[in-house]
Amino acid sequence: MAAVTAPDVDILVIGAGQAGLSAGYHLQRLGLRPEQDFLIVDHAPGPGGAWQFRWPSLTLTTVNGVHDLPGMAFTEVLRPGSDQAPAATAVPEYYARYEQRFDLRVHRPTTVRVVCDRATPTTCPTESVDGLLHAETVPGTPGSSGSATTNGSGERRTGRIDVPGAASGAAESVSTTGYSDDSSGKRLTGRIDVPGAASGAAESVSTAGYSDNSAEQTHRTPGRPAEYDTATDDSDATRARHATMASTEHRVLELSDSATIFDPPATLRVRGLINATGTWEKPFVPYYPDAGTFAGRQLHAHDYRNAEEFAGRHVVVVGAGISAVQLLDEISRVTTTTWTSRTEPRWRTDEFSRDAGRRAVAMVEDRVRRGLPPRSVVSVTGLPVTDRIRAARARGVMDWHPMFSRIEPDGVRWADGTPQPADVILWATGFRSALDHLAPLRLRGPGGGITMTGRLATQVAADPRIHLLGYGPSASTIGANRAGRAAAVELTEHLGLRRV
């Protein structure tokens, strides 16, 4: 047994999205101090987690619902009439204020390139024989292709991403760190162009509709389906707050440069890890051997900016999740489209009740407890039929086709041999967990997933020092909140760190 030496900090939280911030809040409530007992790092340039990269047309009206972070309501930073505000600015502003109010001292941009706990010389630059987890950090946002950039300019860049194989959907995809956590181990031959300013889509977000009895609320604006309406935005208190906000300047706050207070070493030695790195940086594109022959443009929803850039071109939208139908609706307003996916879209016919939400989350939780890769929750809950969807149906654009059998230079070919000419293939095929930096820890089991345990299935069964947030059942803003609390409580207990 290796001797345990003093860590640089007890707990490292990787990622400052909803999950990482929730974890930070709860660690603090348990008596741990930021930068002394725990450290939050994030490699995005600003606050907001993945929200800062969402496409501009995703507004507070069209999101599923953004649940309040613990201890501070979203409505505190919302101006009146901000329903149409892009999520990419409104949510980052909320997170910025949150970080400031709770003095969470997020270090950014700092990338955790790899985490090791044993001597694995080929992947780990240091030998961690001291019983601690070693996190190799580098300043900045990774420049590798496939990672998000925040210039917000919408400029195209010519980078390409490698897409691993396994059309089964079980494989992880783009590596942003140089390490791969790909359970399949396959690399593919096809490539797709990646535009610069990031944005995206996930089919694994539908747990957002799930609410509980917690005091926090989900931001909802008029027109959203009732299932997301757990907030009481129209209360007198909220109206009064809005009135106050109207007279204050609305801007993303500049946070102090906490790196001047605490400068983390390149190798951080920690006793416990809360990984909250989300899914945004792992857009998933299923493997089609002939994808590389396509002469048009292929992109993932991650890189979608606006519909106008497709005007005059025929777009094949692939996917059966919420993002696919939203983007299909948008793009079909400016050009012709074809909609297809491997599995037939499942429309929800009933109201999305709290119980239905619980059941959906429970099914995903059950999978990760059994070591299976998490599955999209929308496959369990079905797609909500919103007014926009009804209108799109009336326009005749929700005309779904079973998946094409081939990709050819000029388009795709259906199973019956009919060609479908196309200029663009938009893959709205979801995301996987961004866990490449944990690959040396060899957390994946034979089932392709990581066996999880703990109260909310955030704890890695094989290594109780490690909690994964946003993995499986916690891949929503409400799930991330709860997972942050559970991880903070269980990890501090495990490490004997409880101070209050």
Ligand X SMILES: Cc1cc2nc3c(=O)[nH]c(=O)nc-3n(C[C@H](O)[C@H](O)[C@H](O)COP(=O)(O)OP(=O)(O)OC[C@H]3O[C@@H](n4cnc5c(N)ncnc54)[C@H](O)[C@@H]3O)c2cc1C
φ/ψ of residue 423, rounded to 5: -105, -25
Nearest Cα residue to 329 out of 475, 428, 204, 477: 428
The two structure tokens encoding residue 135: 């996190």
Short-list 15, 33, 37, 6, CA closest to 132: 6
Q: Is 230 in the site for ligand X (CB under 6 A)?
A: no
Q: Per rule CB under 6 A, is residue 66 in the interface with ligand X?
A: yes
Q: Decide: is 82 part of the binding site for ligand X (CB under 6 A).
A: no
Window 87-126: residues binding ligand X (CB under 6 A) = 111-112
Q: Indicate the DSSP class of residue 259.
A: G
- Closer residue to ligand X in complex, CB, 88/422: 88
Asked if 95 and 51 touch (Cβ cutoff 8 Å), the reply is yes
* Gap between the Cα atoms of 270 and 14, Å rounded: 12
DSSP-assigned letter for residue 378: H
Residue closer to ligand X, measured from CB, 18 or 149: 18
User: Given the rule CB under 6 A, which of 17-25, 31-39, 78-86, 313-321 is the region that contacts ligand X?
Assistant: 17-25
Does residue 54 bind ligand X (CB under 6 A)?
yes
Cβ-based nearer residue to ligand X, 330 or 423: 330
Using CA atoms, how far apart are residues 56 and 85, in angstroms rounded to an integer? 9
Question: For the chain, what is the total number of helices (H) and then of strands (E)?
Answer: 8, 20
Q: Which spans in 370-396 are helix H?
A: 378-381, 387-395
- CB atoms < 10 A from the CB of 152, how many? 16
Task: Check residue 377 for interaction with ligand X (CB under 6 A).
Answer: no
Q: For residues 40 and 42, give the distance between their C-alpha atoms in angstroms, rounded to a whole number.
A: 7
Q: Choose one: 77-85, 447-455, 460-468, 469-477; the region binding ligand X (CB under 6 A).
A: 469-477
Q: Does 134 bind ligand X (CB under 6 A)?
A: no
Size of the site for ligand X (CB under 6 A): 40
| Residue 273 makes contact with ligand X by CB under 6 A | no
Residues 6+ apart with CB under 8 A from 497: 10, 11, 30, 32, 37, 491
DSSP 311-335: TTS-EEEE--SHHHHHHHHHHTTTS
Residue 171, interface with ligand X (CB under 6 A)? no
Residue among 14 and 383 whose Cβ is closer to ligand X: 14
Taking the least distance from each CB to ligand X, the nearer of 10 and 42 is: 42
Please, which residue, 107 or 412, has the CB nearer to ligand X?
Answer: 107
CA distance linking residue 410 with residue 398, whole number of Å: 23
Residues in the chain: 500
| Nearer Cβ to ligand X (202/491) | 202
Assess 200 for contact with ligand X (CB under 6 A): yes
Question: Near ligand X by CB under 6 A, which window of 14-22, 282-290, 334-342, 379-387?
Answer: 14-22
Kindly give, in sequence order, each residue whose CB lies less than 8 Å from that of residue 305, ignoring residues fewer than 6 positions away. Answer: 55, 56, 154, 195, 197, 199
Binding segment (CB under 6 A) for ligand X, from list 4-12, 28-36, 117-125, 197-205: 197-205
Single residue of 27, 192, 201, 457 touching ligand X by CB under 6 A: 201
CB atoms within 10 A of CB 350: 8
Distance separating alpha carbons of residues 58 and 82, to the nearest angstrom: 13
Question: Could you say which residues in the range 24-43 bind ligand X, by CB under 6 A?
Answer: 41-43
Q: Which one of residues 278, 384, 440, 454 is an interface residue with ligand X (CB under 6 A)? A: 278
Angstrom distance (rounded) from CA 50 to CA 201? 11
Task: For 286, list phi and psi in degrees, rounded to 5.
Answer: -65, 155
Residue (75 or 477) nearer to ligand X, CB: 477
Q: How far is the CB of 261 from ligand X (least distance, A)?
A: 19
Question: Binding ligand X by CB under 6 A: which of 7, 15, 190, 473?
Answer: 15
Give yes or no for residue 208 binding ligand X (CB under 6 A). yes
If the CB atoms of residues 44 and 412 are measured against ligand X, the closer one turns out to be 44
148/422 with CB nearer ligand X: 148
Applying CB under 6 A, among 477, 481, 482, 487 the residue interacting with ligand X is: 477
Q: Which stretch binds ligand X (CB under 6 A): 60-68, 313-321, 415-423, 486-494?
A: 60-68
- Residue 439 binds ligand X (CB under 6 A): no
Q: Find how far residue 67's CA is from the centre of its chain.
A: 14
459 interacts with ligand X by CB under 6 A: no
Is 59 a residue that touches ligand X (CB under 6 A)? no
Contact 465, 133 (CB under 8 A): yes
User: Within a 10 A sphere around the Cβ of 319, how many other Cβ atoms?
Assistant: 26
Q: Kindly state whether residue 16 participates in binding ligand X, applying the rule CB under 6 A.
A: yes
Rounded to whole angstroms, how far apart are CA atoms 286 and 123? 27
Q: Which of 19, 372, 443, 489 binds ligand X (CB under 6 A)?
A: 19
Least distance (Å) between residue 58 CB and ligand X: 6
Taking the C-alpha atoms of residue 292 and residue 294, their distance in angstroms, rounded to an integer, is 6
User: Could you say whether residue 325 binds ligand X (CB under 6 A)?
Assistant: no
Contact status: 149 vs ligand X (CB under 6 A): no
Per CB under 6 A, residues contacting ligand X are: 14-20, 41-44, 49-50, 54, 63-67, 111-112, 200-202, 205, 208, 276-278, 280-281, 323, 434, 437, 469-470, 475-477, 480
